[in-house]
Amino acid sequence: MSVGSFTYQGFAARILFGRGTVHKLREELDHVAAERALILTSPRGRALAEELCAEIGGNRATVSDASEPNMPESAYAKLKQAVDDAGADCVIALGGGSPIGLGKAWAAETQKKLISVVTTYSGSEMANNWYVGGGETRRGGSSDAALPVTVIYDPDLTLDLRPAVSAASGMNAMAHATESLYGPDTNPVIQRMSEDAIRRLAENLPKIVDDPMDIDARTEVLYAAWVAAAFRATSGLEHILAQRVRSKFWLDHSRCHAIAVPYAIAYNRDAAPDAMRVIERAMGTKDAGRGLYDLLVRLGLETGFGAVGMPEDGIEAAAETISGMEFPNPRSTPYADIRELVSAAHAGKPPA
């Protein structure tokens, strides 16, 4: 890819990366001048949150396990009440996309400080979009106020992430890296970082599936997930396909992105040949879309939306929704083509 003119807007989040960095939360609260924090997590993460709360000490933190998948309004209401009850001026979102997404919505609406402690590879912490709820009642927007002031990436926190969840979350990061190669605002820095992320993900996700305690592979994938999220161009068809299907049928976020990646990349093959060559070089494959599909199979993930709960009679509605939207993509998205794409992605067969 040649270097031309471009504009790049980076975000000013402070990054703490490495093993043991989660134990620097107390110092980080001092750094961001926060008086009292509420640690937001899911019920599954409560034990760790309580440990961190004790480390912070001094009656300076409390815990709420209000986070739920897909950030429903009821969870957001619980979070707001917990913050008010605690008198907190900062939320520490501990976990994956759900607590971090809920924290982002709170930060966007209150203009207060958010710290994210990441335990998956979703990359939500590096995007300034936020939303609450799903389906027709979903609300949200884009605001830099949603972004955390600090993000902590401690590979040790990913060790208890089940192999299948790790694989799906890692493929979510792969979606960011691959689509950033042809986004309308891509640039040489994003392209170089995306290629590096694709290579690290392709090499190390299978290692995690084979040995979930491989901390070196965990570290590589967590770093790649940060790179893919932090150096990102505007998303195209993959993001729209995964998000619309997930939201419309209330399906798992990461698994929908994992499924969507090879089909979206294959769809854009002829319209973005330079991006395809980068993906093929990074993965050591002859065809970008097929290489990503084969990686899904290697990781033991579902390859079709039908396998994760999308009904077959939903293909028509999903195609109508996606083809009726305006979004940047190197290839046009008319109804007939998108219906064929959604049908193939529902069946889970190798992308054409």
Residue 352: predicted pLDDT: 82
The CATH number given to 163-347 is 1.20.1090.10
Q: What does the alpha-carbon distance between residue 188 and residue 7 come to, in Å, rounded to a whole number? A: 11
Residue 221: predicted pLDDT: 97
- Which two structure tokens, joined as six digits, stand for 275? 């991006």
Q: What is the pLDDT along the chain (352 residues), one digit of tens a residue?
A: 444 555 556 667 899 999 999 999 999 999 999 999 999 999 999 999 999 999 998 789 999 999 988 788 899 999 999 999 999 999 999 998 889 999 999 999 999 999 999 999 988 899 888 888 766 677 888 888 999 999 999 999 999 999 999 999 999 999 999 999 999 999 999 999 999 999 999 999 999 999 999 999 999 999 999 999 999 999 899 999 999 999 889 899 899 999 999 999 999 999 999 999 999 999 999 999 999 999 999 999 999 999 999 999 999 999 999 999 999 999 999 999 999 999 999 999 999 8
Residue 94 makes CB contacts below 8 A (sequence gap 6+) with 39, 40, 41, 45, 48, 49, 52, 117, 119
| pTM (2 d.p.) | 0.91
CB 110 within 8 A of CB 159: no
User: At the topology level of CATH, where does 14-158 sit?
Assistant: Rossmann fold (3.40.50)
Which residue, chain included where needed, has tokens 């090499």? 203
CATH 1.20.1090.10 residue ranges of the chain are 163-347
Q: Output phi, psi for 349, to 5 deg.
A: -80, 160
Residue 52: predicted pLDDT: 97
The closest alpha carbon to 21, from 55, 54, 65, belongs to: 55
